[in-house]
Protein backbone atom coordinates (compact mmCIF):
# COMPACT_ATOMS: atom_id res chain seq x y z
CA UNK A 1 0.00 0.00 0.00
CA UNK A 2 1.54 3.30 -1.07
CA UNK A 3 1.22 6.30 1.20
CA UNK A 4 -1.08 8.84 -0.45
CA UNK A 5 0.18 12.43 -0.63
CA UNK A 6 -1.54 15.05 1.51
CA UNK A 7 -3.92 17.31 -0.42
CA UNK A 8 -1.79 20.43 0.10
CA UNK A 9 1.26 18.60 -1.22
CA UNK A 10 -0.67 17.44 -4.29
CA UNK A 11 -2.06 20.94 -4.90
CA UNK A 12 1.47 22.33 -4.77
CA UNK A 13 2.73 19.70 -7.21
CA UNK A 14 -0.22 20.39 -9.56
CA UNK A 15 0.45 24.13 -9.64
CA UNK A 16 4.23 23.61 -9.92
CA UNK A 17 3.68 21.33 -12.90
CA UNK A 18 1.51 23.99 -14.62
CA UNK A 19 4.25 26.57 -13.98
CA UNK A 20 6.83 24.11 -15.31
CA UNK A 21 4.83 23.54 -18.51
CA UNK A 22 4.47 27.31 -18.95
CA UNK A 23 8.22 27.37 -19.64
CA UNK A 24 7.61 25.32 -22.82
CA UNK A 25 6.87 28.19 -25.18
CA UNK A 26 7.53 29.38 -28.71
CA UNK A 27 8.10 32.94 -27.48
CA UNK A 28 10.35 33.60 -24.49
CA UNK A 29 8.67 35.84 -21.93
CA UNK A 30 5.15 34.70 -22.75
CA UNK A 31 3.21 31.44 -23.06
CA UNK A 32 2.52 30.57 -26.68
CA UNK A 33 2.33 26.89 -27.56
CA UNK A 34 0.48 26.16 -30.77
CA UNK A 35 -0.26 22.81 -32.41
CA UNK A 36 2.88 20.67 -32.98
CA UNK A 37 5.35 23.46 -32.23
CA UNK A 38 8.82 22.29 -31.17
CA UNK A 39 8.41 23.21 -27.44
CA UNK A 40 5.56 20.67 -27.26
CA UNK A 41 8.27 17.93 -27.21
CA UNK A 42 9.58 19.49 -24.01
CA UNK A 43 6.07 19.68 -22.49
CA UNK A 44 5.59 15.97 -23.21
CA UNK A 45 8.98 15.13 -21.66
CA UNK A 46 8.03 16.95 -18.44
CA UNK A 47 4.70 15.10 -18.26
CA UNK A 48 6.48 11.81 -19.03
CA UNK A 49 8.74 12.31 -16.02
CA UNK A 50 5.79 12.68 -13.63
CA UNK A 51 3.86 9.84 -15.26
CA UNK A 52 6.91 7.56 -14.99
CA UNK A 53 7.16 8.29 -11.27
CA UNK A 54 3.56 7.04 -11.00
CA UNK A 55 4.42 3.88 -12.95
CA UNK A 56 2.25 4.85 -15.94
CA UNK A 57 2.83 3.93 -19.59
CA UNK A 58 2.93 6.96 -21.89
CA UNK A 59 2.98 7.54 -25.63
CA UNK A 60 2.34 10.28 -28.21
CA UNK A 61 -0.12 9.43 -30.99
CA UNK A 62 -0.02 10.41 -34.69
CA UNK A 63 -1.48 13.93 -34.18
CA UNK A 64 0.71 14.65 -31.18
CA UNK A 65 -1.75 13.87 -28.37
CA UNK A 66 0.04 12.80 -25.19
CA UNK A 67 -1.36 9.72 -23.43
CA UNK A 68 -0.77 8.16 -20.02
CA UNK A 69 -2.47 4.88 -19.22
CA UNK A 70 -3.32 3.23 -15.91
CA UNK A 71 -4.62 -0.25 -16.58
CA UNK A 72 -7.32 -1.90 -14.53
CA UNK A 73 -6.55 -5.38 -13.18
CA UNK A 74 -9.76 -6.43 -14.95
CA UNK A 75 -8.85 -7.24 -18.59
CA UNK A 76 -12.51 -6.80 -19.63
CA UNK A 77 -12.51 -3.24 -18.29
CA UNK A 78 -13.90 -0.33 -20.26
CA UNK A 79 -12.05 2.98 -20.54
CA UNK A 80 -12.43 6.31 -18.82
CA UNK A 81 -10.68 9.19 -20.59
CA UNK A 82 -9.63 12.24 -18.58
CA UNK A 83 -8.45 14.91 -20.97
CA UNK A 84 -7.88 18.52 -21.87
CA UNK A 85 -5.50 20.37 -24.19
CA UNK A 86 -1.82 21.31 -24.08
CA UNK A 87 -1.86 23.94 -26.85
CA UNK A 88 -2.51 27.60 -26.06
CA UNK A 89 -3.60 30.86 -27.60
CA UNK A 90 -0.80 33.41 -28.19
CA UNK A 91 0.33 35.08 -24.94
CA UNK A 92 -1.84 32.77 -22.86
CA UNK A 93 -2.16 32.08 -19.15
CA UNK A 94 -0.72 28.91 -17.60
CA UNK A 95 -3.96 27.04 -16.81
CA UNK A 96 -6.32 26.97 -19.82
CA UNK A 97 -6.25 23.31 -20.89
CA UNK A 98 -2.97 22.47 -19.14
CA UNK A 99 -4.59 22.37 -15.68
CA UNK A 100 -7.04 19.70 -16.84
CA UNK A 101 -4.23 17.44 -18.09
CA UNK A 102 -2.12 17.96 -14.97
CA UNK A 103 -5.14 17.37 -12.69
CA UNK A 104 -5.67 14.08 -14.55
CA UNK A 105 -2.22 12.95 -13.37
CA UNK A 106 -2.83 14.39 -9.88
CA UNK A 107 -6.05 12.39 -9.64
CA UNK A 108 -4.16 9.21 -10.53
CA UNK A 109 -1.62 10.05 -7.85
CA UNK A 110 -4.41 10.71 -5.35
CA UNK A 111 -5.96 7.31 -6.09
CA UNK A 112 -2.67 5.57 -5.30
CA UNK A 113 -3.02 1.85 -5.92
CA UNK A 114 -6.80 1.76 -5.38
CA UNK A 115 -7.91 -0.87 -7.89
CA UNK A 116 -10.43 0.44 -10.42
CA UNK A 117 -12.81 -1.56 -12.64
CA UNK A 118 -11.91 0.68 -15.63
CA UNK A 119 -8.73 1.64 -17.47
CA UNK A 120 -7.86 5.29 -17.00
CA UNK A 121 -6.43 7.28 -19.91
CA UNK A 122 -5.10 10.75 -19.26
CA UNK A 123 -4.85 12.63 -22.55
CA UNK A 124 -3.17 15.95 -23.28
CA UNK A 125 -4.69 17.01 -26.60
CA UNK A 126 -2.29 18.59 -29.08
CA UNK A 127 -4.77 21.08 -30.51
CA UNK A 128 -7.95 22.67 -29.19
CA UNK A 129 -7.64 26.42 -29.70
CA UNK A 130 -7.70 26.53 -33.51
CA UNK A 131 -4.81 29.02 -33.57
CA UNK A 132 -2.49 27.48 -36.16
CA UNK A 133 -4.94 26.06 -38.71
CA UNK A 134 -8.05 28.10 -37.90
CA UNK A 135 -9.96 24.94 -36.94
CA UNK A 136 -10.25 23.73 -33.35
CA UNK A 137 -10.25 20.21 -31.83
CA UNK A 138 -7.74 18.57 -34.20
CA UNK A 139 -6.36 16.53 -31.26
CA UNK A 140 -9.65 15.34 -29.82
CA UNK A 141 -11.08 14.68 -33.29
CA UNK A 142 -8.25 12.21 -33.95
CA UNK A 143 -9.41 10.16 -30.96
CA UNK A 144 -12.92 9.84 -32.37
CA UNK A 145 -11.66 9.28 -35.92
CA UNK A 146 -12.73 12.52 -37.64
CA UNK A 147 -9.36 14.30 -38.05
CA UNK A 148 -8.45 12.83 -41.46
CA UNK A 149 -10.59 15.40 -43.28
CA UNK A 150 -8.41 18.18 -41.76
CA UNK A 151 -5.04 16.98 -43.14
CA UNK A 152 -4.96 19.39 -46.08
CA UNK A 153 -5.68 22.55 -44.13
CA UNK A 154 -2.81 25.03 -44.31
CA UNK A 155 -1.35 27.37 -41.70
CA UNK A 156 -0.22 30.97 -42.33
CA UNK A 157 3.08 29.67 -43.74
CA UNK A 158 1.35 27.32 -46.21
CA UNK A 159 2.26 24.19 -44.21
CA UNK A 160 -0.45 21.51 -44.22
CA UNK A 161 -1.55 19.56 -41.14
CA UNK A 162 -0.03 16.43 -42.72
CA UNK A 163 3.33 18.23 -43.21
CA UNK A 164 3.23 19.64 -39.68
CA UNK A 165 2.74 16.10 -38.37
CA UNK A 166 5.77 14.88 -40.35
CA UNK A 167 7.91 17.87 -39.32
CA UNK A 168 7.14 17.14 -35.68
CA UNK A 169 8.50 13.62 -36.22
CA UNK A 170 5.22 11.71 -36.35
CA UNK A 171 3.76 9.44 -39.02
CA UNK A 172 0.54 10.70 -40.58
CA UNK A 173 -0.15 7.18 -41.91
CA UNK A 174 -0.74 6.11 -38.33
CA UNK A 175 -3.59 8.60 -37.87
CA UNK A 176 -6.21 5.87 -37.94
CA UNK A 177 -4.34 4.20 -35.06
CA UNK A 178 -4.87 7.30 -32.90
CA UNK A 179 -8.59 6.54 -32.87
CA UNK A 180 -9.66 5.13 -29.52
CA UNK A 181 -11.75 2.18 -30.63
CA UNK A 182 -12.02 0.50 -27.25
CA UNK A 183 -15.20 0.67 -25.27
CA UNK A 184 -15.24 4.12 -23.67
CA UNK A 185 -17.47 4.43 -20.62
CA UNK A 186 -16.91 8.16 -20.33
CA UNK A 187 -14.88 11.31 -20.87
CA UNK A 188 -14.15 13.63 -17.95
CA UNK A 189 -12.62 17.08 -18.46
CA UNK A 190 -11.53 19.47 -15.73
CA UNK A 191 -11.10 23.04 -16.96
CA UNK A 192 -11.01 26.57 -15.63
CA UNK A 193 -14.38 28.26 -16.18
CA UNK A 194 -12.91 31.17 -18.20
CA UNK A 195 -15.90 33.24 -17.11
CA UNK A 196 -17.25 35.07 -14.05
CA UNK A 197 -20.25 32.90 -13.03
CA UNK A 198 -18.74 30.68 -10.31
CA UNK A 199 -16.95 33.64 -8.74
CA UNK A 200 -20.14 35.71 -8.76
CA UNK A 201 -21.99 32.84 -7.05
CA UNK A 202 -19.19 32.30 -4.52
CA UNK A 203 -18.61 28.72 -5.70
CA UNK A 204 -15.32 26.89 -6.24
CA UNK A 205 -16.57 24.34 -8.71
CA UNK A 206 -19.42 23.65 -11.10
CA UNK A 207 -20.48 20.59 -13.09
CA UNK A 208 -21.25 21.38 -16.72
CA UNK A 209 -24.45 19.95 -18.18
CA UNK A 210 -24.18 21.43 -21.69
CA UNK A 211 -21.83 23.29 -23.98
CA UNK A 212 -23.76 26.07 -25.66
CA UNK A 213 -24.47 25.93 -29.36
CA UNK A 214 -23.55 29.04 -31.29
CA UNK A 215 -24.01 30.90 -34.54
CA UNK A 216 -22.10 33.82 -36.01
CA UNK A 217 -23.54 36.14 -38.65
CA UNK A 218 -22.10 38.83 -40.88
CA UNK A 219 -24.71 41.59 -41.17
CA UNK A 220 -24.94 44.72 -43.31
CA UNK A 221 -27.24 47.71 -43.18
CA UNK A 222 -27.03 49.99 -46.19
CA UNK A 223 -28.42 53.54 -46.42
CA UNK A 224 -26.94 56.59 -48.10
CA UNK A 225 -23.74 58.43 -47.24
CA UNK A 226 -24.13 62.19 -47.35
CA UNK A 227 -22.89 65.50 -45.94
CA UNK A 228 -23.19 65.67 -42.15
CA UNK A 229 -23.77 69.43 -42.21
CA UNK A 230 -26.27 69.93 -45.02
CA UNK A 231 -28.56 66.89 -44.71
CA UNK A 232 -31.48 67.53 -42.29
CA UNK A 233 -32.25 64.75 -39.83
CA UNK A 234 -35.57 63.77 -41.43
CA UNK A 235 -33.95 63.31 -44.86
CA UNK A 236 -31.18 60.97 -43.74
CA UNK A 237 -30.72 57.25 -44.36
CA UNK A 238 -28.11 56.68 -41.65
CA UNK A 239 -26.96 53.05 -41.56
CA UNK A 240 -25.24 53.46 -38.19
CA UNK A 241 -28.30 54.66 -36.27
CA UNK A 242 -30.05 51.60 -37.72
CA UNK A 243 -27.20 49.32 -36.61
CA UNK A 244 -27.33 50.93 -33.14
CA UNK A 245 -31.02 50.05 -32.90
CA UNK A 246 -30.09 46.47 -33.81
CA UNK A 247 -27.37 46.31 -31.11
CA UNK A 248 -29.91 47.35 -28.46
CA UNK A 249 -32.49 44.91 -29.83
CA UNK A 250 -29.95 42.06 -29.55
CA UNK A 251 -29.29 43.04 -25.94
CA UNK A 252 -33.00 43.15 -25.15
CA UNK A 253 -33.79 39.79 -26.76
CA UNK A 254 -30.89 38.16 -24.88
CA UNK A 255 -31.88 39.75 -21.56
CA UNK A 256 -35.45 38.53 -22.00
CA UNK A 257 -34.40 34.97 -22.88
CA UNK A 258 -32.92 33.07 -19.91
CA UNK A 259 -29.51 31.62 -20.75
CA UNK A 260 -29.17 33.40 -24.10
CA UNK A 261 -26.10 35.51 -24.83
CA UNK A 262 -25.95 37.75 -27.91
CA UNK A 263 -23.07 40.01 -28.86
CA UNK A 264 -22.41 42.52 -31.62
CA UNK A 265 -18.63 42.46 -31.32
CA UNK A 266 -17.60 44.22 -34.50
CA UNK A 267 -19.16 47.25 -36.14
CA UNK A 268 -17.65 49.04 -39.14
CA UNK A 269 -19.33 52.23 -40.33
CA UNK A 270 -18.43 53.34 -43.87
CA UNK A 271 -16.97 55.57 -45.13
CA UNK A 272 -16.03 56.27 -41.49
CA UNK A 273 -15.45 60.03 -41.45
CA UNK A 274 -16.65 62.45 -38.78
CA UNK A 275 -18.40 64.73 -41.30
CA UNK A 276 -20.10 62.01 -43.37
CA UNK A 277 -23.37 60.23 -42.53
CA UNK A 278 -22.55 56.50 -42.47
CA UNK A 279 -23.92 55.00 -45.67
CA UNK A 280 -23.16 51.40 -44.75
CA UNK A 281 -22.39 49.43 -41.61
CA UNK A 282 -20.88 45.96 -41.62
CA UNK A 283 -21.37 44.24 -38.28
CA UNK A 284 -21.49 40.84 -36.64
CA UNK A 285 -23.79 38.87 -34.36
CA UNK A 286 -22.55 36.07 -32.08
CA UNK A 287 -25.42 34.23 -30.40
CA UNK A 288 -25.28 31.24 -28.03
CA UNK A 289 -27.59 29.03 -25.95
CA UNK A 290 -27.53 25.53 -24.47
CA UNK A 291 -30.68 24.63 -26.41
CA UNK A 292 -30.57 24.99 -30.17
CA UNK A 293 -34.33 25.60 -30.56
CA UNK A 294 -34.15 28.58 -28.18
CA UNK A 295 -31.17 30.00 -30.11
CA UNK A 296 -32.88 29.45 -33.46
CA UNK A 297 -35.99 31.28 -32.27
CA UNK A 298 -33.92 34.23 -31.02
CA UNK A 299 -31.92 34.32 -34.27
CA UNK A 300 -35.12 34.48 -36.32
CA UNK A 301 -36.51 37.19 -34.08
CA UNK A 302 -33.35 39.28 -34.45
CA UNK A 303 -33.08 38.85 -38.21
CA UNK A 304 -36.74 39.93 -38.49
CA UNK A 305 -35.87 42.91 -36.29
CA UNK A 306 -33.06 43.81 -38.71
CA UNK A 307 -35.59 43.79 -41.57
CA UNK A 308 -38.02 45.91 -39.54
CA UNK A 309 -35.34 48.48 -38.64
CA UNK A 310 -34.31 48.66 -42.31
CA UNK A 311 -37.92 49.22 -43.49
CA UNK A 312 -38.56 51.89 -40.88
CA UNK A 313 -35.36 53.80 -41.73
CA UNK A 314 -35.22 53.40 -45.50
CA UNK A 315 -32.25 51.02 -45.34
CA UNK A 316 -31.56 47.57 -46.74
CA UNK A 317 -30.55 44.67 -44.50
CA UNK A 318 -28.56 41.59 -45.50
CA UNK A 319 -27.32 38.68 -43.39
CA UNK A 320 -24.95 35.80 -43.94
CA UNK A 321 -24.52 32.83 -41.58
CA UNK A 322 -20.77 32.45 -41.18
CA UNK A 323 -20.58 29.64 -38.63
CA UNK A 324 -22.96 27.41 -36.70
CA UNK A 325 -22.21 24.75 -34.07
CA UNK A 326 -25.03 22.83 -32.39
CA UNK A 327 -25.20 22.62 -28.61
CA UNK A 328 -23.54 19.60 -26.99
CA UNK A 329 -25.42 18.24 -24.01
CA UNK A 330 -23.16 16.51 -21.50
CA UNK A 331 -24.11 12.95 -20.54
CA UNK A 332 -26.97 13.22 -17.99
CA UNK A 333 -25.95 10.17 -15.96
CA UNK A 334 -22.22 11.08 -15.71
CA UNK A 335 -23.13 14.69 -14.90
CA UNK A 336 -25.58 13.54 -12.20
CA UNK A 337 -22.81 11.39 -10.70
CA UNK A 338 -20.48 14.40 -10.74
CA UNK A 339 -23.25 16.35 -8.97
CA UNK A 340 -23.36 13.61 -6.29
CA UNK A 341 -19.58 13.87 -5.89
CA UNK A 342 -19.92 17.66 -5.50
CA UNK A 343 -22.66 17.25 -2.88
CA UNK A 344 -20.64 14.62 -1.00
CA UNK A 345 -17.79 17.15 -0.72
CA UNK A 346 -20.12 19.92 0.47
CA UNK A 347 -20.51 21.85 -2.80
CA UNK A 348 -23.64 23.14 -4.52
CA UNK A 349 -24.29 20.56 -7.25
CA UNK A 350 -26.34 22.88 -9.54
CA UNK A 351 -24.94 22.36 -13.03
CA UNK A 352 -24.02 25.20 -15.40
CA UNK A 353 -23.69 25.78 -19.12
CA UNK A 354 -20.34 26.33 -20.82
CA UNK A 355 -20.47 29.29 -23.19
CA UNK A 356 -17.09 28.37 -24.69
CA UNK A 357 -16.20 25.30 -26.73
CA UNK A 358 -14.02 22.54 -25.23
CA UNK A 359 -12.62 19.15 -26.23
CA UNK A 360 -15.66 17.68 -24.45
CA UNK A 361 -17.69 19.25 -27.25
CA UNK A 362 -15.82 17.28 -29.93
CA UNK A 363 -15.81 13.91 -28.16
CA UNK A 364 -19.22 14.46 -26.52
CA UNK A 365 -20.91 13.59 -29.81
CA UNK A 366 -19.48 10.07 -29.57
CA UNK A 367 -18.72 9.33 -25.90
CA UNK A 368 -20.66 10.09 -22.71
CA UNK A 369 -18.89 13.24 -21.51
CA UNK A 370 -18.98 15.55 -18.54
CA UNK A 371 -16.96 18.51 -17.32
CA UNK A 372 -15.98 20.09 -14.03
CA UNK A 373 -15.26 23.83 -14.03
CA UNK A 374 -12.93 25.51 -11.53
CA UNK A 375 -13.61 29.13 -10.63
CA UNK A 376 -11.66 31.70 -12.71
CA UNK A 377 -10.64 34.62 -10.46
CA UNK A 378 -11.78 37.83 -12.14
CA UNK A 379 -13.38 35.67 -14.84
CA UNK A 380 -10.05 36.07 -16.63
CA UNK A 381 -8.65 33.72 -19.28
CA UNK A 382 -6.69 33.79 -22.57
CA UNK A 383 -4.52 36.34 -20.75
CA UNK A 384 -1.14 36.04 -18.96
CA UNK A 385 -2.81 37.02 -15.64
CA UNK A 386 -5.17 34.02 -15.82
CA UNK A 387 -5.05 32.24 -12.47
CA UNK A 388 -6.66 29.64 -10.24
CA UNK A 389 -7.01 29.45 -6.43
CA UNK A 390 -5.10 26.65 -4.60
CA UNK A 391 -8.21 25.92 -2.50
CA UNK A 392 -10.23 25.41 -5.70
CA UNK A 393 -7.56 23.03 -7.02
CA UNK A 394 -7.82 21.07 -3.76
CA UNK A 395 -11.62 21.06 -4.06
CA UNK A 396 -11.34 19.77 -7.66
CA UNK A 397 -8.97 16.99 -6.53
CA UNK A 398 -11.31 15.94 -3.72
CA UNK A 399 -14.41 16.01 -5.93
CA UNK A 400 -12.53 14.36 -8.80
CA UNK A 401 -11.35 11.41 -6.67
CA UNK A 402 -14.83 11.10 -5.17
CA UNK A 403 -16.29 11.02 -8.70
CA UNK A 404 -13.79 8.37 -9.87
CA UNK A 405 -14.59 6.20 -6.82
CA UNK A 406 -18.35 6.56 -7.36
CA UNK A 407 -17.87 5.68 -11.00
CA UNK A 408 -15.85 2.62 -9.93
CA UNK A 409 -18.73 1.49 -7.72
CA UNK A 410 -21.21 2.00 -10.54
CA UNK A 411 -18.99 0.28 -13.09
CA UNK A 412 -18.18 -2.56 -10.67
CA UNK A 413 -21.82 -3.61 -10.42
CA UNK A 414 -22.56 -3.12 -14.10
ZN1 LIG B 1 -9.25 25.49 -23.00
Give the tens place of pLDDT for each residue, 67-82.
999 999 888 899 999 9
The Cα-based distances of 224 to 273, 276, 376, 391, 413 in angstroms read 14, 10, 46, 58, 71
Burial annotation 36-62 (CB, 10 A radius, 16+ → b, else e): bbebbeebbeebbebbeebebebebbb
Give the Å distance between the CA of 18 and the centre of ligand 1.
Answer: 14
pLDDT in tens, 118-130: 999 999 999 999 9
What is the pLDDT at residue 3? 65
Give the Å distance between the CA of 89 and the centre of ligand 1.
Answer: 9
Contacts 24+ apart (CB under 8 A), 181-184: 182/78, 182/79, 182/119, 183/78, 183/79, 184/78, 184/79, 184/80, 184/81, 184/367, 184/368
Cα(64)–Cα(66) distance, integer angstroms: 6
What DSSP element (H or E) covers 162? helix 161-167
The Cα-based distances of 24 to 21, 123, 250, 398 in angstroms read 5, 18, 42, 28
The Cα-based distances of 167 to 36, 173, 194, 357 in angstroms read 9, 14, 33, 28
Query: Considering only CA atoms, which of 263, 268, 242, 265 is closest in space to residue 253?
Result: 263
Give the Å distance between the CA of 128 and the centre of ligand 1.
Answer: 7
Flag whether pLDDT at 410 surpasses 70: yes
Residues 6+ apart with CB under 8 A from 29: none
Flag whether pLDDT at 238 surpasses 80: yes
What is the pLDDT at residue 135? 87
**What average pLDDT does the segment 265-282 reach?**
97
What is the pLDDT at residue 134? 87
Give the Å distance between the CA of 356 and the centre of ligand 1.
Answer: 9
Give the Å distance between the CA of 194 and the centre of ligand 1.
Answer: 8
Percent of the chain past pLDDT 70, that is, above it, reads 99
Give the Å distance between the CA of 275 and the centre of ligand 1.
Answer: 44
Q: What's the CA angle centered on 172, arms 168 and 177, to 5 degrees?
A: 115
pLDDT in tens, 143-165: 999 999 999 999 999 999 999 99
Cα(236)–Cα(224) distance, integer angstroms: 7
Give the Å distance between the CA of 235 and the centre of ligand 1.
Answer: 50
- 191 annotated as ligand-binding: yes
Flag whether pLDDT at 178 surpasses 80: yes
Give the Å distance between the CA of 129 and the centre of ligand 1.
Answer: 7
- 74 annotated as ligand-binding: no
What is the pLDDT at residue 182? 79
Give the Å distance between the CA of 259 and the centre of ligand 1.
Answer: 21
DSSP letter at 352 equals E
Longest CA pairwise span in the chain (Å): 87
- In the chain, DSSP finds a helix count (H) and a strand count (E) of 12, 16
Give the Å distance between the CA of 1 and the centre of ligand 1.
Answer: 36
Is 370:208 a contact under the CB 8 Å cutoff? Answer: yes
Query: Considering only CA atoms, which of 138, 128, 124 is closest in space to residue 172?
Result: 138
pLDDT in tens, 336-381: 999 999 999 999 999 999 999 999 999 999 999 999 999 999 999 9
- Which ranges of 225-319 would DSSP assign to H, the alpha helix? 239-255, 292-313
Flag whether pLDDT at 1 surpasses 60: no
Q: How confident is the model at residue 389 (pLDDT cuts 50, 70, 90)?
A: very high
**What average pLDDT does the segment 104-130 reach?**
95
pLDDT in tens, 291-306: 999 999 999 999 999 9
Give the Å distance between the CA of 263 and the centre of ligand 1.
Answer: 21
Give the Å distance between the CA of 357 and the centre of ligand 1.
Answer: 8
**What average pLDDT does the segment 49-66 reach?**
96
- 218 annotated as ligand-binding: no
- 85 annotated as ligand-binding: yes
Q: Is 401 exposed, middle or buried (0-12, 13-18, 19+ CB in 10 A)?
A: buried
The three-class DSSP label of residue 373 is strand
> What's the mean per-residue pLDDT of the chain?
96
DSSP letter at 87 equals -
Give the Å distance between the CA of 159 and the centre of ligand 1.
Answer: 24
Is 188:209 a contact under the CB 8 Å cutoff? Answer: no
To the nearest 10 degrees (0 to 180), the angle between helices 7-22 and 39-53 is 160
Residues 6+ apart with CB under 8 A from 115: 72, 73
Flag whether pLDDT at 193 surpasses 70: yes
Show the domains of the chain with their CATH numbers. 7-211+327-412 (3.40.630.10), 213-325 (3.30.70.360)
Cα(369)–Cα(152) distance, integer angstroms: 29
Flag whether pLDDT at 5 surpasses 80: no
Amino acid sequence: MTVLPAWTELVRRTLDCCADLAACTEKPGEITRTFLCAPMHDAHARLDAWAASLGLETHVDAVGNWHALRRSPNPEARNLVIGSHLDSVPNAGPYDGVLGVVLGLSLLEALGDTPLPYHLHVVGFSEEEGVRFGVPFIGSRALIGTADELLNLTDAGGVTVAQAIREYGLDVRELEGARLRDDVLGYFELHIEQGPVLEAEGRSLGAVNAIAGQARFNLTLTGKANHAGTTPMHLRRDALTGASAFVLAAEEVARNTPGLVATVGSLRPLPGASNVIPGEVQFTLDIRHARDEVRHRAQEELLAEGERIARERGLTFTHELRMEEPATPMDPSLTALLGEALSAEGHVPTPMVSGAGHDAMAVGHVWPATMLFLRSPGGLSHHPDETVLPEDVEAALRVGTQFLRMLAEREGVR
